[in-house]
Chains A and B, each alone.
Chain A
Amino acid sequence: MLVNRRLILAHFWLAFAVFGIALTLGAWQMFIRSPIGTWLSNPELYYRSLTAHGTVMGYVFPTLVAMGFGYAISESALEQRLVGVRWAWTGFWLIVIGSVMAVIPVALGRASVLYTFYPPLIGNVFYYLGVVLVVVGSWIWVALMAVNLRVWRKAHPGAPVPLAMFANVAGSYLWAWTAVGAALELLLQITPVAAGLKATIDAGLARVFFSWTLHAIVYFWLMPTYIAYYTIVPRAIGGRVYSDSMARISFILFLVVAMPIGMHHTFADPMVGAGFKFIHSAFTALVALPTLLTVFTICASVEIAARLRGGRGMFGWIRALPWDNPMMLALAFSFVMLGFGGAGGLINMSYQLDASIHNTQWITGHFHLIFGGAIVIMYFAIAYDLWPHLTGRELIDLRLIRTQLWLWFLGMIVTTFPWHWVGILGMPRRMAYFDFGDPAIAPQALSVTFSAIGGFILLTSGILFLVILARGMRAPQADAGPYRFALAVHQPATVPIALNTHALWVALMIALTLTNYGYPILTLAMTEGTSVPAVYVGAQ
């Protein structure tokens, strides 16, 4: 029962519109720093673009998708009108205002600090305040998800919370808590300096605060994708979820162990000792567990669909899958990219291997493959699946949808595989241009060219995506019926309280964060003489 369709559509449209802009910037960046582009006379333009690309893709786009999808889940999985619609619109407009506020100084070259902030570089204060507003807007969504679940529980005492909503609320809690790290950095450290109240800042402490956000935010981006794996894909291809409880365990594990691992981003940093780096490395290994469980459960769920369709044999069932179904295609592409990206992630998490590729193009390749690839392709699939229910019109051209998904998959492979390779060769990140005339850099030219071509394939696919959605707004009307989620093979009549509530796991998440971050943050905060003069950008 999707009542507030305008609210959900507004979130999705804004998300995909800013995605289109950021994607265009990304393609331009790939081109301009490749051998096929000419050297930028003003490299600063590159960093403006990079700041905008990162800020939109990291903070605005996935947050809006999670919010829109979250509202849709709340209304359709709980079969209950959204409580707090006015608040939801408030959150939406906060994000609009915050985005505009942040993008103006970026466009003017007053905040080219990248979305990772990098103090003691300090940009215009409105950039940071804009980002804070975006986060505050999303926190309203977190609160609404909790409130809606509570209202539903009151009406259905003891009943199992539908899996989609259970996971959705877990994702919202994860986001609420992981955003706190960057929020502390912004509010306690950066904004006072950007506003001119202070002139020094502890760059090391800021990096630790940011690492608190930087890793778990990826799992927040991942949540809608995993919710789609478990609760949309099996239904869309005519199967069942292999195990409802395993799904819940996976989401709980994400909630608990995605948080206390962020310091693997600071392996090469001087302000954290070896002990905490090892602890965070070990916890990072642990976060592979929910993904390994998910891969198994989803493959088994897909196999059920294939066998119901008459598939036989050890592997022969794969042929019986509905490959012309966009959801099936998106899932397969997503899994392939998750496989390669996940393997790369296991390399990054071990200190010894990370030293070879830290801050090289390998890292950029890695997170584009995971986020831009495995995650975003499922955002597309979610939009395609929801669209008829939101617009009351059918998406007719399945062939065009399949083409779009294929292009995204191929584009992502062509972009990120050479990207990984030049990273191994030691090519550093975030550079406006490279001197391909240098004999030591010349061998990387071909790979960088391939990546740039991949960028344009991705841009083509992104435009196609927007065209398909826009055409879907004008297609003939058709009633898509109520929006449903996949059922489990053994649909639970009751669920143990630990798998039906979040309180225990949220407490564990906070406790683990405090044990893994409390000591490093306190010691850094109490160490004298580590604050350094701010370096203002765009002030010249």
Chain B
Amino acid sequence: MSTEETHGNGSASAEVAARVERRWATIAVIIIVMMAVLAAFAGIHRATMPQPRVETTDPSRIHLSGEFVESNLGSVLEANGNVTVRAIGQQYSFTPACIVVPVDTPITLRATSADVVHGILIQGTNINTMLVPGYISEQLMRFARTGDYLMPCQEFCSFGHEGMWGKVRVIDKAEFAGRAKGGGRLSCVGQ
């Protein structure tokens, strides 16, 4: 921080001013570096990072073939005990409108949009992702408590946006395993 104006009258007080100022600037830089380091540490150590890869999908064909056809939407218990949830958002609802998952289980949410930009937010958690048509959103989640959670669309998607609310039902692990035995894709729509 060059202070050429310190030459001239009152240079003693100007030096004091410059010194105090330098000290404050140093403190400010330390604060900022600390914050960036904390964010990086939390990201790596606690594995709370944004989705690493960009995946694309064609929204005009998702209902015909591929992972987001209607019969493949919902929750599925994988061989390793984890759960994968596939969902889509469209004006003005989610499919499935009620997502059922087991408690204390690593869950991968894979979702996309069939038309405009939507968003998934599960209230009372930090699960929050955008659904952008043309791209697949992937989010890791894990629920510590059973119960019902509201899942509103969090992005303006035109005139019916205020009516686009889904639900997540977190149930007991054994109960989920029992329901998953028959295979197929689970949801709590109509229950």
Contact = CB atoms under 8 A, between A and B. Distances in A.
Contacts, number: 237
A68 interface: no
A428 interface: yes
A242 B17 contact: yes
Interface in A419-465: 425-426, 428-434, 438, 440-441
Interface residues of B, number: 77
Contacts of A501: none
Contacts of A533: 59-60, 115
A122 to B, nearest CB: 10
Contacts of A277: 50
A270 B136 contact: yes
Given A118-B116, A426-B124, A358 B39 contact: no
A532 B5 contact: no
Contacts of B48: 351-352, 355
Contact of B4 (A47, A428, A492): A492
B5 A203 contact: no
Interface in B119-143: 119, 121-138
Given A43-B162, A351-B39, A430-B161, A359 B154 contact: yes
A121 B5 contact: no
B21 interface: yes
A268 interface: yes
**Interface footprint category on A:** 35 or more
Given A118-B156, A430-B161, A296 B21 contact: yes
A282 interface: yes
A432 B39 contact: no
Nearest to B153: A428
B132 A245 contact: no
Contacts of A269: 130, 132, 135, 137
A108 B23 CA distance: 57
Given A270-B51, A532-B59, A537 B158 contact: yes
Given A278-B43, A351-B43, A288 B32 contact: yes
Nearest to A42: B159
A415 interface: no
A426 B124 CA distance: 6
Interface of A: 43-44, 46-47, 112, 114, 116, 118, 120-121, 202-204, 207, 242-246, 249, 266-274, 277-278, 281-282, 285-286, 288-289, 292-293, 296-297, 300, 346, 350-352, 355-356, 358-360, 425-426, 428-434, 438, 440-441, 488-496, 523, 527, 529-533, 535, 537
List of 3 A-B pairs having minimum Cβ-Cβ separation, nearest first: A426-B123, A359-B154, A292-B28
Interface of B: 1-6, 8, 10, 13-14, 17-18, 20-21, 24-25, 28-29, 31-32, 35-36, 38-40, 42-43, 46, 48-56, 58-60, 91, 112, 115-117, 119, 121-138, 148, 150, 152-162
